[in-house]
Chain A
Amino acid sequence: MRSLLITLRKQWPFHILLIPAVVVIFIFNYIPLYGLVIAFQRYNPSMGFQSPWVGLDNFVRVFSQPNFVQTIWNTLFIAGFQIIGGIIVPVVFSLLLNEVRKALAKRVFQTVIYMPYFLSWVILAGVMIDILSREGIMNTFLSSFNIGPIPFLGDPHTFRWTMIVSEIWKSFGFGTVIFLAALTSIDPSLYESAVVDGAKRWKQTWYITIPSIMPIIVLMSILSLGNILNAGFDQIYNLYSPIVYSTGDIIDTYVYRLGIQQAQYSVGTAVGMFKALIAAFMISMSYYLADKLAGYRVL
């Protein structure tokens, strides 16, 4: 105890510096954890946390709704394909971009494909709604090949694919830059000895390039597992409409509509909590695997 006091006396400025962050995180990240109790109550805003306890009623109610299972399936479907495409497309692009020998051209391509990543889904949704509408250029373009019109945003079956492809479109530039960085760090002497052994470009790619970036591919795949329940609230909320709820409603949009728009706080919190539990498990698992398999640590 005495020694602790002595240490603290010497170190107090460090602890003073930490106080603001500790307080802010406590208020905005830890107190809401207490708020999770309303998942077990029939929350009434005027009574607050003194609302009557109902046990697991809210969970039972949620799980027994037919569209809840569908919502989970939609989330996994959309997120799953977004993740798979979000790995494959950038890997292919970084390999192709790596073959471009003109530095300027390489930089221009990189800059252009990277751009949508920095724009908000609100703006991109606005752009997409214009382009993909019945009268938009996409359908005008397709009609010149006698295809369509395709209701990209107005048909339950097409909608989820629109969400998958557009998410990949928004973020593949970002992934490409990561893999490209990995490619440039491959030891050139590997290629030199491969050439001596008579390997052509294709063999070099297959036996040197791909194995060399495999660790980072594995790492990116594992880390994206933590996102398997995030199919993109911003994207879907800005683009969907009641017509496509059947395939487009994901857990996050469901929680928002139920919890905030219809003010069913308890039910919404129950859904959110269910999602958070699985997500916490998935994220911990992905970090654990990333450490074990790829030696990656956040801290």
Chain B
Amino acid sequence: MDVVLNYRSPSRTVFVVFNTIFLSLTAAVCIIPFIHLLAISFSGSSAVAAGRVVFWPVEFTTVSYEFAFRGGKFLPALWVSIWRVLLGVIVNLALIVITAYPLSKNKDKVFGRNIYMMYFVVTIIINGGLIPTYILVTKIGLLNSIWALVLPGALPIFSMIIMMNFMRGLPEEIEQAAMIDGAGVFATLFRVMLPLLTPALATVGLFSVVSHWNDWFSGLIYMQDSKKYPLQTYLHTLIIDFEEVIRLAQGDTAKILAYMNVRTGRAAQLFLATIPVLIVYPFIQKYFTTGLVLGSVKG
């Protein structure tokens, strides 16, 4: 390998230099917007309005963050989101595990296995769409309830398939040994299999965390009371109409308006909402490729 790749030639050197510059510029394009956002969020409103802020805060102030934590609806929305992620991930993982386990068996062991499988997979292709689903959720009385954000997507089919393929990859002897020792199906699944599923649980769990954390649309349509908006839905309203949010803010409005404007206030709250993703991101990245590979394993 080394013999092949470590040769030197003038044209190679030119290429390496240009390649590095090009890739660095691209990477910059992906990260600069967030650095700019961060700089804006810590800057004074007049500096921002005058266009003097690029990558470093000008007229440093934390008033936008103080506003986020005291004046606005940021914190209540954050709690709704945290609660939703917890609930959503627990429901997702529980359903994924108990569904994937029987489906990981072949049809001789589980009668009708292929019919069950069809029943689940068809929903990827055929669905009622936005309005019938909205009417259903409304009719069964889930409007304004956190369950409206959790139940309609309670079983993510792709994650279930990943889990199923992972279970198939485990050595069969482990289960057989458990069965011989007298463990039934439930005991085998929950006591013997569950600890072995950790990598797959981490993968699909992270998918769940990200999708629940990032979802804004179901909050918008199923929560009529804006006090119950999850964070992303609240941010959506903020993007659309932040003047309104400032106008309705309680507290020392005069002081807030002197140092904060639409752009600094919005930047601070957007940045706060990206922090959790940035924290779990290194883990997601590690597991994501694994998940993709698992997902494409043929059964």
Contact = CB atoms under 8 A, between A and B. Distances in A.
Interface of A: 4, 7-8, 11, 13-15, 17-18, 20-22, 24-25, 27-36, 38, 48, 93, 96-97, 99-101, 105, 108-109, 111-116, 118-120, 122-123, 125-131, 135, 137, 140, 169, 173, 177-178, 181, 188, 191-192, 195, 201, 233-234, 237-238, 252, 255-256, 259-260, 265, 268-269, 272-273, 275-276, 280, 283-284, 296-299
B254 interface: no
Interface of B: 1, 3-6, 12, 15-16, 19-20, 22-24, 26-27, 29-31, 33-34, 36-37, 40, 49, 51, 54, 95, 98-99, 101-103, 105, 109-111, 116-117, 119-121, 123-136, 139-140, 151-155, 160-161, 184-186, 189, 210, 213-217, 221, 232-233, 235-236, 238-239, 263, 266-267, 270, 273-274, 277-278, 281-282, 284-285, 288-289, 292-293, 296, 298-299
Given A120-B232, A188-B4, A115 B31 contact: yes
A280 B125 contact: yes
Given A17-B99, A18-B102, A126-B238, 10 more contacts: A35-B135, A48-B139, A105-B20, A114-B285, A123-B232, A137-B51, A140-B51, A238-B236, A255-B129, A297-B299
A33 to B, nearest CB: 5
Given A21-B99, A127-B34, A130-B267, A268 B130 contact: yes
21 contacts: A11-B110, A14-B109, A14-B110, A18-B102, A27-B151, A28-B153, A32-B133, A35-B128, A93-B23, A111-B282, A120-B213, A120-B215, A122-B233, A127-B33, A130-B40, A137-B36, A177-B289, A191-B5, A255-B130, A273-B129, A299-B121
A298 B121 contact: yes
B1 A188 contact: yes
Contacts of B298: 297
Given A35-B128, A135-B51, A298-B161, A13 B186 contact: yes
B125 A169 contact: no
A222 to B, nearest CB: 14
A48 B139 CA distance: 10
A250 to B, nearest CB: 13
A272 B51 CA distance: 44
Nearest to B133: A32
A285 B281 CA distance: 34
Nearest to B236: A122
Contacts of B51: 135, 137, 140
A6 B54 CA distance: 73
* Residue with the highest number of chain A CB atoms closer than 10 Å, among B124, B132, B217, B238: B132
A29 B299 contact: no
Nearest to B33: A127
Main secondary structure of the interface of A (DSSP, over half): helix
* Residue with the highest number of chain B CB atoms closer than 10 Å, among A105, A111, A120: A120
A101 B273 contact: no
B123 A29 contact: yes
A259 B131 contact: yes
A192 B235 contact: no
Given A14-B105, A126-B235, A29 B19 contact: no
A25 B128 contact: no
A27 B1 CA distance: 56
* Residue with the highest number of chain A CB atoms closer than 10 Å, among B127, B185, B296: B127
B232 A17 contact: no
B110 to A, nearest CB: 5
A164 to B, nearest CB: 15
Given A14-B110, A191-B4, A299-B117, A259 B136 contact: no
